[in-house]
Amino acid sequence: MATKTAAQRREEARVEYDAFIRGCPTHQLLGRISDKWVGLVLSALSSGPMRYSDLGRKIPGVSPKMLTQTLRSLERDGLLTRKVTPSVPVRVDYEVTPLGASLSHMLTAVKDWAETHIDQVHEARKRYDAENLRLR
């Protein structure tokens, strides 16, 4: 019996699951990873492990509660690991897993897209608003 490669198994999974369907578990997972804080945390960690306090400084808009929730959910989903060093004060480091890295580079690309296309989006909004004002 021929053994399936990982790529074949993934391709079969892709056909079985359908994130368009609300009841599909992949729809829930897509909802969870389609989140700006998830994108920013995984982008921040894409260049290497970081301490909790450094993550908070890198993403100054995030509240401690939201940062903790996001990190815990990413840890539970197997996308990052949390390492506690029992020093004084306690040191906590976060690092993406190989699974997390496979998602992280995509979300970093989405973040980069926002940074490189914001001007085109602003121009489009101006055109849309002018057009809709004219039609009123």
Return residues touching its own copies (CB under 8 A): 10-11, 13-14, 17-23, 25-27, 29-31, 33-36, 38-40, 43-44, 58-61, 75-79, 99, 102-103, 106-107, 109-125, 127-129
The pair of structure tokens assigned to 136 is 């009123």
Q: Which residue, 66 or 93, is less far from its own copies as judged by CB? A: 66
Other Cβ atoms within 10 Å of 39 Cβ, number: 21
Q: Which residue, 49 or 112, is less far from its own copies as judged by CB? A: 112
Minimum CB separation of residue 3 from its own copies in Å reads 17
Q: Which residue, 49 or 121, is less far from its own copies as judged by CB? A: 121
Residue 106 in 3-state DSSP? helix
Distance of alpha carbon 53 from alpha carbon 11, whole angstroms: 39
Contact 104, 71 (CB under 8 A): no
